[in-house]
Each structure stands twice: as structure tokens, then as C-alpha cells.
Amino acid sequence: MKARKYDYRRNLPHIEKSGRAHFITFDTYLRWELPPIARDLVLEHCLYENAKKMRLRIAVVMPDHVHMIFMPLEDEKHETFTLEEIVGAIKGASAHSVNKALQRTGTLWQDESFDHVVRHADSLAKKIQYVRENPVRKGLVSRPEDYKWLWEE
């Protein structure tokens, strides 16, 4: 397994590991609250690259941020897709769709995302549980399975 060369560096360091799950969070610009139709579109875009560029374990679209846990896949040259190729595509396509649907213009997402390489199976289980429980912790639902914008493998 060969990792692609990448220069996905802005202000935060972004560590990428082939064959490892990555926990990603990205926020709306100025913590703007996504209306329900926008959350529908963002979740569709999170799911679009599943089994193409990544193996998605879980995703949740909150009113002002997104959490995802996925493992980057390899292309036909056995190079691992980069976080920029995966997350950048999701953010770009979803911004376009949301702006079009809401007849708005401008920035939807903050430039930076937070990413963390998940190193151990027990840590992965804890991160998945954290993502599942996010809507409950925020008081949006009483059970994770009642949250419309939660998808789990």
C-alpha cells in the first residue's frame, strides 16, 4: 500500500496513514446553522464517495458541523486517496449543492478540518460511539437512531 504524496497543509497539521481509520470534523463557516434540506444534501455528499474513495464507518451532519470516520481506499495504481481528495470533494460538492438549493452564495465551510488518525480498535469503537451520541449530547434527540442525519455502516 503506497500513500500518495500530499501537501494538504494549512494552519493545522494533517496526518494521513494508509490502512487506518480517520476521524474528521469540519464546521460551517461562522458556525452557520444548516437548515434540514441542507443537512440532507450534505449527508448525500458524505455517502457519495463511500466504496469509491473511502470506506465510511459513520457520519453525522449536525446543524453546524460534520463528523465522519472512514478509511481511505486505494485507486487503480494502489495509491491511497488523500484526505484532500475525499474531504475536499465532499466540502466542495456539498457547498455547491447547498448554495444552489438555498439560492445563496458564499462560503459554506471553514477552510480547515480537524482530523485524527484512529490508532487502535478500542479507540475506533469509542470514536464511533462519540459520533453516534453527538445528536443526543446536543439535545436534538433522545436516541441516536432517531436522528435523521446519522448514517452508520
Is the pLDDT score of 119 beyond 90?
A: no
What residue segments make up the domains of the chain, in order of their start? Answer: 12-152
Q: Encode pLDDT of 64-109 as tens digits.
A: 999 999 999 999 999 999 999 999 999 999 999 999 999 999 999 9
Residue 4 confidence class, pLDDT cut points 50, 70, 90: very low
Superfamily of domain covering 12-152: Transposase IS200-like (3.30.70.1290)
Distance of CA 148 to the CA centre of its chain: 16
Is the pLDDT score of 16 beyond 90?
A: no
Cβ–Cβ under 8 Å, residues 39 and 61 = yes
pLDDT value, residue 121: 84
Is the pLDDT score of 30 beyond 80?
A: yes
Q: How far is CA 14 from CA 7, 23, 119, in A?
A: 9, 11, 15
Question: Mean pLDDT throughout 111-127?
Answer: 90
Question: Mean pLDDT throughout 31-44?
Answer: 98
Question: Mean pLDDT throughout 40-69?
Answer: 97
Question: Mean pLDDT throughout 11-35?
Answer: 84
Is the pLDDT score of 7 beyond 50?
A: no
pLDDT value, residue 139: 98
The phi and psi torsions of 130 (rounded to 5 degrees) equal -60, -45
Task: For residues 2 and 18, give the distance between their C-alpha atoms in angstroms, rounded to a whole number.
Answer: 7
The phi and psi torsions of 66 (rounded to 5 degrees) equal -130, 135
Higher pLDDT among residues 124 and 19, named by residue: 124
The mean predicted confidence, pLDDT, of the chain is: 91
Q: How far is CA 107 from CA 27, 30, 76, 131, in A?
A: 11, 9, 33, 25
